[in-house]
Amino acid sequence: MIAGARGRSGLAIVFIGLLAASPLFVSDFFLSAILTKTLWLGIVAASLIFLSGYGNMISLAQTGLYGVAGFVLGNVVAADGGLKVAWDPWVGVILGLVVATVVGLVFGAVASRSEGIYFLMLTLAFGILLFYFWGQVTQLSGFGGINSIQAPGIVSKPRTDPDNLFYICLVVSVAVYALIRYIVRTPFGIALQGIRDEPTRMRALGYNVALHRTLAFGLGAFLAGISGILSVWWNTRIDPGSVGLGRTIDVLVIAIIGGIFWIEGGWLGAFVFTAIDTYSRNIDWLGPRFNTLIGVIFLVIVLVSPGGLIGIWESARGLARRRSGAGAGLPPGAPAERSG
């Protein structure tokens, strides 16, 4: 973000290129269940990282908001389930994003005046509220959720022909990444970081801190909504279990594993999480205790590097550079003072 940004950009381009070529050399299963899932799950994690890293708002409502987009899409598009109106899939996409953003703005307006643990609890309450809303309002979903949600033709059949959805997720992920990187260098984004560091001073400088946070939360909801749409295309279905407390914790874990200070961490964390989640279940001696394994790996990563996997990468680079006589980049959250 601040230091080493150019090096990371170069690395990002290499990664994107490698990903773009991956359908040539990975299996359909790997492409769909690991890479495509990584991409859409990474977006919702990135929305959390955007809010927490740039706005100091650790939101536990991101999965709930991602669910809003998904459920609206499902209600509008599915022929059997929810409202059963079977409109055009693209109408569903637009409505889903609009409703998710609006709900995000409303939540944001409520939560923007609180900070720290209170903000965390409020957003957790929002997430749980949404979970029960979809579970209990059976006209819109019920706990069984909505099945067989039609995706637009461009998505093709994600089950049998995963390439299209993979490329869509890749392009959207790159766009989301670029958008966040752009936004944080606009007056809006810089001011958001100012609010993160010193809300009191921002008020004294004339900024409407609450409004600013609300809008940022709305943007976070929009990004989460994008992820929700892609997840529905990928799953062809959605139910309250997709936005429950478990999923909320998953997304938080992903963001922290990846590195809560870097947007890229969303996708990195999603990849690690998805790979562990998928493959650890095949370890015979682990049996149904694979969740414990994920917990242990999470603990180790947090202990080793509060900055997540990207944090490890950064400190490794810093170490290497110091050895060659140059300095390292510091994460924006890491304390470093030079005075005397």
Of the pair 121, 299, the CB lying nearest other proteins is at 299
User: How far is Cα 45 from Cα 62, in angstroms, rounded to an integer?
Assistant: 8
Shortest CA distance to 256 belongs to which of 217, 300, 292, 221? 300
Among 36, 101, 155, 247, binds other proteins (CB under 8 A): 247
Of the pair 152, 332, the CB lying nearest other proteins is at 332
Q: Nearest distance from residue 88's CB to other proteins, in Å?
A: 20
The angle formed by the CA atoms of residues 76, 79 and 80, to the nearest 5 degrees, is 110
Among 33, 140, 174, 302, binds other proteins (CB under 8 A): 33
Beta carbons within 10 angstroms of residue 115's beta carbon: 13
Report the amino acid identity of residue 13: I
Q: Cβ neighbours of residue 259 under 8 Å, at least 6 residues apart?
A: 49, 265, 268, 269, 305, 307, 308, 309, 310, 311, 331
H-helix or E-strand containing 195? helix 187-197
Return the range that interacts with other proteins (CB under 8 A); candidates 40-48, 117-125, 241-249, 262-270.
Answer: 241-249
Among 88, 157, 292, 295, binds other proteins (CB under 8 A): 157
Return the range that interacts with other proteins (CB under 8 A); candidates 43-51, 94-102, 116-124, 236-244.
Answer: 236-244
* 286-325 positions binding other proteins, by CB under 8 A: 287-288, 293, 297, 300-301, 303-305, 312, 315-316, 318-319, 322
Spell out, one character per residue from 186 to 225, where the chain touches other proteins: x when CB under 8 A holds, - when not: xxxxxx-xx-xxx-xxxxxxxxxx-xx--x----------
Q: Nearest distance from residue 38's CB to other proteins, in Å?
A: 10
Among 28, 94, 114, 128, binds other proteins (CB under 8 A): 28
Of the pair 100, 151, the CB lying nearest other proteins is at 151
| Structure-block tokens of residue 34 | 């690991």
Site membership for other proteins, residue 101 (CB under 8 A): no
Site membership for other proteins, residue 118 (CB under 8 A): no
Of the pair 4, 266, the CB lying nearest other proteins is at 4
How many amino acids of this chain bind other proteins (CB under 8 A)? 104
Decide: 238 and 52 in contact? Cβ < 8 Å.
no
Report the amino acid identity of residue 167: Y
Task: Please give the backbone phi and psi of residue 146, each rounded to the nearest 5 degrees, phi first.
Answer: -115, 130
User: How far is Cα 301 from Cα 318, in angstroms, rounded to an integer?
Assistant: 18
Report the amino acid identity of residue 120: L
Angle (deg, nearest 10), helices 308-323 and 264-279: 120
Site membership for other proteins, residue 117 (CB under 8 A): no
Site membership for other proteins, residue 83 (CB under 8 A): no
Q: Nearest distance from residue 32's CB to other proteins, in Å?
A: 7
Of the pair 229, 238, the CB lying nearest other proteins is at 238
